[in-house]
Amino acid sequence: MFLLVAKRSGALFKSPVTRYYILTCLVVGLLISLDLWKTGTYESLGEAVRYGFFQTFCSISTTGFATADTSVWPAFSILLLVFVIFQGGCSGSTTGGIKSDRLLIAFYSIRAQITKKLHPRSVVP
């Protein structure tokens, strides 16, 4: 937030954690909204987008707010909500879950180990 206020918003999006977190919120919110609309859970696309994104942001931040009865939602939407609840927020936040930073570190570590196993004599930065 400080970077946005200090008018250095470009520095904010250089962080891979910030990019991952924002992208996760947007993609999951969009997928849930489309699933709710396509399955006929909500009649209008606007209503599906509103409920889908609100539940996504409330789930990823583990605030506990609910404006929709998710028991009637399709299984795919529930699975995505469970994923973002499991992920949680970013480091330094009070949200529950594993945190995006730790997931990215695990991903980078696994990728480095696979690269090292496939190419044992290579020097990879």
Q: How many Å apart are CA 52 and CA 33, to the nearest integer?
A: 5
- Residue 4 has a pLDDT of 65
Question: Which are the contacts of 72, defined by CB distance < 8 A and separation ≥ 6?
Answer: 41
- Residue 2 has a pLDDT of 66
Q: Domain limits of the chain?
A: 2-118
- pLDDT, mean of each 10-residue run, the chain (125 residues): 66 81 93 95 93 93 87 94 87 81 91 92 79
> Model's pTM, two decimal places?
0.80
